[in-house]
């Protein structure tokens, strides 16, 4: 972490930004990259803000491949969206070129940095406040998938291998359980048992994909609710961000992650498990928004929307648990035990989503029927 804003000033000076650097400030949401807001003043006194980000190279072993993907996706979306979308100031994510002409710079202490426009008048949410936000966020991620659907899948690189291969996430957890590198296993045996009891469902989507029943598309792969910028006044979803994991994938994981992060009125690391809840109106708004935004969904995808939240909550819980057992090497934490708190929250959500399965399935069927 950098607290001294002269370092951000140095990094910012590598990019073709006009005006005088005023200040740099760290942005704390997000578990992966180091993100800073940089404020500049132009000669005419106008203030412009930018997002300066260092790609986490422990997570993304080939940061330049990430940048190639991001460049391709942002330019594709910009050329399509800016022609038709003039509301919300027509805000989309754009990379600013570095002075050398490429879209990234190397910072003083190493690392690959990039600069985006700051999406103005917007904020992100950790907890969804109303059904309009839920509908809007799901619509934005659904539309995002539609917008990139005409990029050939083979043109986008796989920047993290097997990112949403849930059975492989399970195998990894079991290897770490066997090794117990930090001596933390004794306190999490109930959580490990919880996962083992659900082993049979982990390969559901991968199996459908192997059988050719689920299409591989270019997907976002990290559709959690704080990865979409919402207009502070109108709650409109203005712009999808965090494009590092855009890769060939399954749309069901994208929809599932929306469910995981939007149905409960609680934060991802809520310790009071009795507060976790499945708000059905939120689920309905998510399903409606996603179906309205993404026109290409096939019947098998629609049939599995209700199950998607269970699978990704289980997968994400396994990833948090693995990281806890490994000593918090992957996800940023603010306090000890936070990855275990996050895992427990995911597993409680799995239980509640299981209880609501029939209701959720019914809801999706009604929505799909209304559209057919
Ligand atoms: P991470 O991979 O660490 O989650 P993100 O790209 O999601 O990184 O960025 C972290 C946070 O920074 C976001 O949740 C959002 O609040 C803020 N942010 C990122 N990009 C922008 C942007 N272009 N405009 C405004 N805020 C942004
Ligand atoms: C990470 O980068 P961020 O905070 O939006 C992670 C996601 C997890 C999420 C859990 C590259 O997302 O896969 O679902 O944390 N991103 C990466 O909150 O691993
Ligand atoms: Mg993020």
Let me know if residue 224 belongs to a domain. yes
Domain end (from 94, 120, 146): 120
CA-closest residue to ligand 2 atom 18? 31
Query: Which domain range does residue 93 map to?
Result: 5-120
Let me know if residue 107 belongs to a domain. yes
Q: From residue 88, give the alpha-carbon distance in Å to each of 39, 95, 203, 286.
A: 21, 19, 40, 21
Domain end (from 57, 87, 120): 120
Q: How far apart are CA 4 and CA 263, in angstroms?
A: 38
- On average, the pLDDT of the chain sits at 94
CA 32 to ligand 2 centroid distance, Å = 7
Determine the 3-state secondary structure of 162 from DSSP.
coil
Let me know if residue 319 belongs to a domain. yes
User: What's the domain count of the chain?
Assistant: 2
Domain end (from 52, 85, 120): 120
pTM (predicted TM-score): 0.96
CA 159 to ligand 1 centroid distance, Å = 19
pLDDT band of 64, cuts 50, 70, 90: very high
CATH of the domain at 92: 3.30.200.20
224 lines ligand 2 (CB under 6 A): yes
Same domain, 332 and 262: yes
Let me know if residue 101 belongs to a domain. yes
Let me know if residue 126 belongs to a domain. no
Q: How far apart are CA 57 and CA 52, in angstroms?
A: 15
Higher pLDDT, 107 or 313: 313
**Mean per-residue pLDDT, 222-239:** 96
Percent of the chain with pLDDT over 90: 91
Q: Which of 27, 28, 29, 31 to mutate to test the pocket of ligand 2 (most atoms within 8 A of CB)?
A: 31
57, two tokens: 């190279």
**Mean per-residue pLDDT, 192-211:** 98
Q: From residue 363, give the alpha-carbon distance in Å to each of 105, 140, 286.
A: 48, 20, 11
Q: Which of 53, 222, 339 to mutate to test the pocket of ligand 2 (most atoms within 8 A of CB)?
A: 222
Same domain, 272 and 209: yes
pLDDT tens column, 281-336: 999 999 999 999 999 999 999 999 999 999 999 999 999 999 999 999 999 999 99
pLDDT band of 370, cuts 50, 70, 90: confident
pLDDT band of 101, cuts 50, 70, 90: confident
68, two tokens: 């190639």
pLDDT at 107: 78
66, exposed or middle or buried, with CB in 10 Å at 0-12, 13-18, 19+? buried
């Amino acid at each position: 972490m950098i607290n001294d804003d002269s370092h951000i000033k140095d990094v910012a000076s590598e990019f073709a930004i006009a005006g005088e650097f005023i200040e740099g400030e760290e942005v704390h949401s997000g578990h992966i990259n180091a993100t800073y807001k940089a404020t500049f003043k132009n000669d005419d006194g106008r203030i412009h803000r930018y997002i300066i980000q260092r790609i986490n190279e422990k997570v993304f072993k080939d940061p330049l491949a990430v940048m190639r993907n991001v460049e391709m996706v942002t330019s594709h979306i910009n050329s399509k969206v800016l022609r038709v979308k003039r509301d919300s100031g027509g805000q989309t994510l754009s990379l600013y070129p570095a002075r050398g002409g490429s879209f990234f710079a190397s910072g003083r202490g190493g690392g690959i940095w990039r600069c985006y426009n700051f999406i103005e008048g917007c904020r992100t949410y950790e907890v969804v406040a109303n059904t309009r936000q839920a509908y809007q966020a799901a619509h934005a991620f659904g539309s995002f998938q539609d917008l990139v659907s005409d990029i050939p899948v083979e043109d986008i690189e796989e920047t993290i291998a097997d990112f949403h291969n849930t059975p492989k996430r399970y195998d990894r957890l079991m290897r770490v359980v066997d090794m117990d590198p930090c001596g933390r296993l004794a306190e999490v045996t109930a959580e490990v048992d919880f996962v083992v009891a659900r082993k049979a469902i982990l390969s559901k989507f991968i199996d459908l994909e192997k059988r050719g029943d689920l299409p591989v598309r270019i997907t976002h792969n990290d559709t959690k609710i704080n990865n979409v910028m919402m207009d502070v006044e109108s709650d409109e979803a203005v712009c999808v961000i965090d494009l590092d994991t855009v890769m060939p994938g399954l749309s069901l994981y994208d929809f599932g992650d929306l469910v995981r992060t939007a149905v409960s009125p609680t934060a991802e690391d809520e310790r009071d498990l009795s507060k976790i809840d499945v708000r059905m109106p939120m689920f309905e708004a998510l399903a409606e928004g996603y179906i309205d935004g993404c026109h290409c969904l096939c019947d098998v995808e629609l049939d599995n929307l209700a199950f998607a939240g269970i699978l990704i909550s289980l997968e994400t819980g396994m990833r948090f648990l693995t990281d806890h057992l490994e000593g918090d090497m992957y996800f940023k934490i603010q306090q000890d035990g936070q990855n275990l708190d996050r895992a427990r929250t995911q597993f409680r959500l799995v239980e509640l989503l299981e209880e609501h399965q029939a209701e959720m399935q019914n809801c999706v069927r009604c929505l799909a029927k209304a559209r057919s």
